[in-house]
Amino acid sequence: MVRSKESFSRRQLLIFASNSIVAAPLAALAGGTFPDIHVIKNPQCGCCTAWIKILIDKGFNVTSEDRSGSLLTEFKIESGVPNYMMSCHTAKIDGYFIEGHVPASEIKRLMADRPDALGLAVPAMPYGSPGMGPEDEREAYDVYIISADGTAEVFQHYAEAGISV
């Protein structure tokens, strides 16, 4: 059997296909596309809607679902959000939770680094965090990374606006 120089062997095709499967998620992150993010929020919450708009503007494909009261709290608990880290909305992205007004840049960093963690949280609703007022008037706040045992450590600190650290 004579093969043309342009044909591929079965082995070459399998190697190419498997490399493509491994490289595709990394290429997507490098190209500025991210896994879908699904936000569970209170239907009356305007700051949640503002946060979603910011994520869309930063290149995320966002879907949302409205839940109120105990249904929203139940979702937070099922997702692994510790009580002391709860905020107004909870999102899920590629196996992680995102609780509260986490900046898009920290979600992108989480997706790039893929740490062994449950997710990120900005507890309460700090003024000037994404969706909570103008960033140039922001109060200092921390983004926390939550470990599987529920402990938290600072993932990123945001200083009060106008104060350099």
Encode pLDDT of 109-126 as tens digits: 999 999 999 999 999 999
Is the pTM higher than 0.85? The answer reads no
Coil, strand or helix at 146: strand
Domain extents in the chain: 35-158
Mind listing the pLDDT tens digit for each residue in 43-86? Answer: 988 999 999 999 999 999 999 999 989 999 999 999 999 999 99
pLDDT higher for 16 or 128? 128
Contact in structure between 61 and 20 (CB atoms under 8 Å): no
Query: What is the token pair recorded at 123?
Result: 């507890």
Mind listing the pLDDT tens digit for each residue in 88-97? Answer: 999 999 999 9
Please give the CATH topology (third level) of the domain spanning 35-158. Glutaredoxin (3.40.30)
Contact in structure between 76 and 85 (CB atoms under 8 Å): no
Residue 163 has a pLDDT of: 73
Q: Which amino acid is at 11?
A: R
Residue 7 has a pLDDT of: 52
The alpha helices in the chain, defined as continuous H runs, are 10-30, 46-57, 69-79, 104-113
Q: Could you identify the residue written with the tokens 């990123």? A: 156
Q: 144 - beta bridge partners?
A: 121, 154
Banded pLDDT at 145 (limits 50, 70, 90)? very high
Coil, strand or helix at 44: coil
Q: How far apart (Å, rounded) are the C-alpha atoms in residues 130 and 134?
A: 8
Q: Could you identify the residue written with the tokens 């993010």? A: 37
Q: How far apart (Å, rounded) are the C-alpha atoms in residues 72 and 14?
A: 45
Going by the DSSP 8-state scheme, the letter that residue 8 receives in this structure is -
